Structure 1
Amino acid sequence: MRKMALFGILFILVALAGCRSEPQAVSFMVFGDPAEFAAYESLVEAFEAAQDEVDVTLSHIPSQGDYRTKLATDFAAGTPPDVSLLSFRRAGAFIAAGQLEPLGPYLAESDVIAAEDFYPITLESFTWNDQLMCIPQNISSLVVYYNRDLFTAAGVAEPADDWTWNDFLAAAQALTQDTDGDGTIDQYGLGVEASLYRLAPFVWQNGGEIVDDAAFPTRLGLTLRPAQLALEWFVALQTVHHVVPDRLAEASQDSESRFVAGTTAMYLNSRRGTPTYRESAAFDWDIAPLPRGAQTAGVLHSDAYCLSATATNKDAAWRFIEFANSPEGQTLVAQSGRTVPSLVAVAESEAFLDPAQRPARSRVFLDTIPDLRLVPLLSTWDEIEGTASEEIDRAFYGDIGVEEAAVLARDRTEEYFALAARP
């Protein structure tokens, strides 16, 4: 009798074990340097430790350019990751092609996060035809990273919160030096990418627009006088004032590498540079807001977790996205330095405003949020931005004049505006 009872118990245990479902698989692809990748590894580990119903496979493409290429290729082939990170500037192409699952309905049903928890501009940047398509992970402005040691050595005052274009240029000039007297610049005052995205806030600060109509753009607006004057000022940083490396010097060592090496005093970047600078920069550094022109303005940097429309386990993928954007998930990534959290409560917490971590002036990212503006939400914006940046780059390094660059940027991108799908 006892043997029969034991056999019955064993039979039940085996049956229960056989009924236990396998975890639902979800694939997640990210880009970034090792410090950034480590943050996402921690995120996935924390999610999987909290539950056993969903198994997330994390893949990593270090180069952002390679990531974008692979993502486009995978979507075109019908084999995209279930969850991916997309900038609002590039999400339009995937949305217009019907490749992303709208996440507004999921958010509306969530007991973990709600729309009112986020900075509104981040939700706006991923809204298409009144549908929220992706859940924003971060909100960042473009800021000036600066080497405090070089400022001190040159006797230059650190940037004030209300500094101007003239203050910015004067600092860059004082910090551009031939330290060994051989006639070659050894230390540059500034490093900046010569692109439309970097130029945009300076155009807005000068009272200009980067497109002809912010509500319904049909062409670039760089030929209009306020915008062209901002482009002229931007280009002159290299061609006239030589506070930025010329094309040959930039090719031999890019400006971000120079900043990390301590031979460039200021570098313009979003928050995503912070983990690398914390890990690799052997000097004291901090951040400052962009210098102001006739008015203040900044350009939004925001990435979001997006769900593929072809994902097999959509509910499981949503659970991961929901966790990643919960206070716990955003806190984990914020502690790496990678993000300015899109959740207001986490952005205002010590997880982001950690006084023991650089940059000491992290609140600059929050104080400048009211000044942030969006580039247009168009399916072809990536092509528009890339093509225009080619002409801006040529002007920046003295190959063509500012007026010619503005005209060429306008004319070469007109077809992309004509082809664009828009909200």
Structure 2
Amino acid sequence: MIRKLAIVLAIVPALGFATACGGQSGDDGGKVKVVWWHGQTEAEGQTLKDLADEYNKSHPGVVVDPEVGTTNVDEMLQKVQAALAGGEPPDVAYMYGSWSSTLADTPKVVDLSSMVKDPSFGWDDFWPAAREAATVDGKVIGVPSVVDNLGLIYNKKLFDAAGVPYPTKDWTWDDFRTAAKKLTDPGKGVFGTSYVVTGDEDTVWRFWPMVWQQGGSILNSDGKTAAFASPQAVQSLDLWRAMAVDDKSVYLDQNGEKFLPLFYSGKVGMEMAGPWAMRDLADHDVDYGVVPLPGYGGNHQTISGPDNWVVFDNGSKRAQAAKDFLAWLTKPEQDARWSLGSGNLPIRQATSKLPAYKKFAEQFTGADAFLANQDNAMQARPSIAGYPDISAKVGDAIDQVLLGQATAQQALSGAAAEADKILAKG
């Protein structure tokens, strides 16, 4: 199964490396070779191999060579970094959307702006937040490979046992807190909900929608100072502090690996999670439902964590062959085989109109709800080089508050001061 791949940040230097002799040999028996690091294994990797084989048969002048690259996509940036330094980068690689600003700084990343502007590519058919996450200062550094969003997944059995009405699309965060308290049963080790307190982006991205829902921002409009220590943000984090410290209705997952298994086993009633959980939910035979995130004032904005296929420059012939391949790979028919086959949402809106999506939605409870929730993904995290460092400061602040070590105002103000220092360095 493809897990959520967009939430892990790597804090690394910009990839401004010189490469030797143009990279790997692009000749394969007179054909143009495209080395494709996709990072997928098992069924997902086989699907991509089958797609490459199909493309090669219909494009006799090209050989797309699919390789895993790394079995841990968290390490793909470092792996590509080393390949760039050694002069042998892949032509295409699967990269987290959170790395966009770093990738934009290397001259070896091919700007795909002209490709996506071609009407035949259908750029407007990709989800807005995914397009925004792939664009840095007007430069398109990749095309979406996976899209997702955060919704609220709830365990119907636990709600029924506690006599609590199921969540609705109109829920507020106060409704959420009330339900979490009623679902919590210390004697049975049951919690109303959970929160990841790892201090990384898995912690932080769950918080940003609450800020956006109230009209807040991560940075000020000029992008030079932090805006996340606002009264609205403090109110949101205070709610989580009250739930975790006062109500004791939140399971605090300090390694980020336990919250979903606990939900599958009936020990947590509600989770902020995404479509990546649907396959495991089906495997564990959980009776569950999906609604948008609770909101403020009727605003139910969510956050999307899209990842990208990124092209590296190994010469004009190989770069063009890589772009042609991606244009084919991301067409709705191929998208249906890759995205839906791996249990993810379609990367294109047109894919959801195909019979393959209808079959997918019948197989996975909540697919339609997550698809509709894409409309609530209205903005993306800042595509700036300092975001990973800023995120780390915010993650630490959230952890301190939920663990009862600081107030929301203290923690967010401290993180904002540190963020301003990071931004001042450019």
TM-score range, shorter chain: 0.7 to 0.9
- Would the alpha carbon gap of residues 108 and 339 (structure 1) be closer, same or farther in structure 2, given more than 3 Å must change? same
Residues 147-172 of structure 1 deviation map (CA, whole Å, 9 limit, x = unaligned): 23332333332221111112212222
Equivalent residue number for residue 300 of structure 1: 304
Contact map agreement 1:144 1:266 (CA 8 A) in 2: yes
1:343 pairs, out of 330, 348, 371, with 348
* Letter matched to residue 257 of structure 1: P
Using the TM superposition, name which of 62-71 and 96-105 deviates more.
62-71
Tell me, yes or no, if the aligned pair for 1:289 and 1:368 is still in contact at 8 Å: no
Pick closer, same or farther for the CA change 1:91–1:75 going to 2, 3 Å.
farther
By how many angstroms is 1:75 displaced? 4.2
2:193 aligned with 1:193: no
1:148, 1:284 within 8 Å by CA — same for their partners in 2? yes
Answer yes or no: is 1:98 the counterpart of 2:107.
yes
Do residues 380 (structure 1) and 389 (structure 2) align?
no
Q: Give the corresponding residue for 1:5.
A: none
SS of residue in 2 equivalent to 1:398: coil
Name which of 72, 81, 94 aligns with 1:85.
94
Residues 284-323 of structure 1 mapped to structure 2, 5 A cutoff? 284-294=287-297, 295-310=299-314, 313-323=318-328
Shift of 1:108: 4.1
Q: Following TM superposition, by how much is the alpha carbon of 1:33 offset from its aligned partner in structure 2, in angstroms? A: 7.7
CA distance in 1, matches of 2:304, 2:367: 19
Q: Distance in 2 between matches of 1:260 and 1:232?
A: 28
The structure-2 alpha-carbon separation of the partners of 1:393 and 1:33, relative to structure 1 and needing over 3 Å to count, comes to farther
- Tell me the distance in 1 between the aligned counterparts of 2:163 and 2:395: 35
> For residues 345-370 of structure 1, what are the alpha-carbon distances to aligned partners after superposition, in whole Å with 9 as ceiling and x for unaligned?
11343433434212245244324415
* Aligned-residue offset at 1:102: 0.8
Distance 1:336 1:303 in 2: 17
Is the CA contact 1:218–1:414 (under 8 Å) kept in the aligned structure 2?
A: yes
Q: Which residue of 1 aligns with 2:151?
A: 143
Q: What is the alpha-carbon distance in structure 1 between the residues aligned to residue 91 and residue 232 of structure 2?
A: 44
Distance 1:33 1:262, change over 3 A: farther
Matches within 5 A, 1:27-46: 27-31=35-39, 37=45, 39-46=47-54
Larger radius of gyration between Structure 1 and Structure 2: 1
Counterpart of 1:205, as a letter, is Q
Greater shift after overlay, 383-392 or 32-41?
Answer: 32-41
Hey, what does 1:14 align to over in structure 2? none
Contact map agreement 1:142 1:268 (CA 8 A) in 2 = yes
Match in the other structure for 1:269: 273
Superposition deviation, residue 204 in structure 1: 1.6
Choose which of 165, 173, 182 in structure 1 pairs with 2:173.
Answer: 165
Instruction: Say what the alpha-carbon RMSD is for the aligned residues.
Output: 3.0
Aligned to 1:12: none
What corresponds to 2:407 in structure 1? 401
Q: 1:360/1:123 Cα in 2 relative to 1: closer, same or farther (>3 Å)?
A: closer
Which amino acid is the alignment partner of residue 188 of structure 1? Answer: F
Superposition TM-score, scaled by structure 2 size: 0.81
Give the secondary structure class of the aligned counterpart of 1:137.
Answer: strand
In the alignment, the residues of structure 2 paired with residue 266 and residue 276 of structure 1 have an alpha-carbon distance, to the nearest angstrom, of 15
Q: For residues 241 and 46 of structure 1, do their structure 2 counterparts lie closer, same or farther at Cα, with a shift above 3 Å needed?
A: farther
2:269 match: secondary structure: strand
- Structure 1 residues 99 and 271: alpha-carbon distance in aligned structure 2, compared to 1, 3 A threshold: farther
Q: Residue type matched to 2:90 in 1?
A: P
Q: Alignment identity in percent?
A: 20
Structure 1 residue ranges (4+ consecutive) displaced by more than 6 angstroms after TM superposition:
none
| Alignment CA distance shift 1:22-1:68 (3 Å) | same
SS at match of 2:228: coil
Question: Which residue identity lines up with residue 344 of structure 2 in the other structure?
Answer: T
Structure 2 distance, partners of 1:68, 1:243, is 37
* Cα distance change of structure 1 residues 405 and 102 upon mapping to structure 2, 3 Å threshold: same
Does structure 2 conserve the Cα–Cα contact (< 8 Å) formed by 1:334 and 1:351? no
Q: Which residue in the other structure is 2:237 paired with?
A: 231
Unaligned residue ranges in structure 2 (runs of 5+) = 1-27, 198-202
What's the offset of the Cα at 1:48? Answer: 4.1
Mark the CA change 1:222 to 1:134 in structure 2 (over 3 Å): closer, same or farther: same
What SS class does the counterpart of residue 245 from structure 1 fall into?
strand
* 1:260 alignment partner, one of 264, 269, 281: 264
TM-score (norm 1): 0.81
Partner of 2:420: 414
Cα offset, 1:207, TM superposition: 3.3
Q: Matched residue pairs, number?
A: 391
Of 32-41 and 324-333, more deviation after overlay is shown by 32-41
Matched, 1:117 2:117: no
> 1:398, 1:32 → 2: CA distance?
39
- CA–CA separation in structure 1 for the residues paired with 2:86 and 2:416: 33
- How has the CA–CA distance of structure 1 residues 173 and 29 changed in structure 2, closer, same or farther, with 3 Å as cutoff? farther
Letter in 2 for 1:198: R
1:158 to 1:35, Cα distance in 2 relative to 1, 3 A: farther
- Residue 184 of structure 2 aligns with which residue? 176
User: How far apart, in 2, do the equivalents of 1:65 and 1:99 lie?
Assistant: 21
Structure 1 unaligned spans of 5+: 1-19
CA distance 1:308–1:140, shift in 2 (3 Å): same
Tell me the amino acid that sits aligned with residue 184 of structure 2.
T
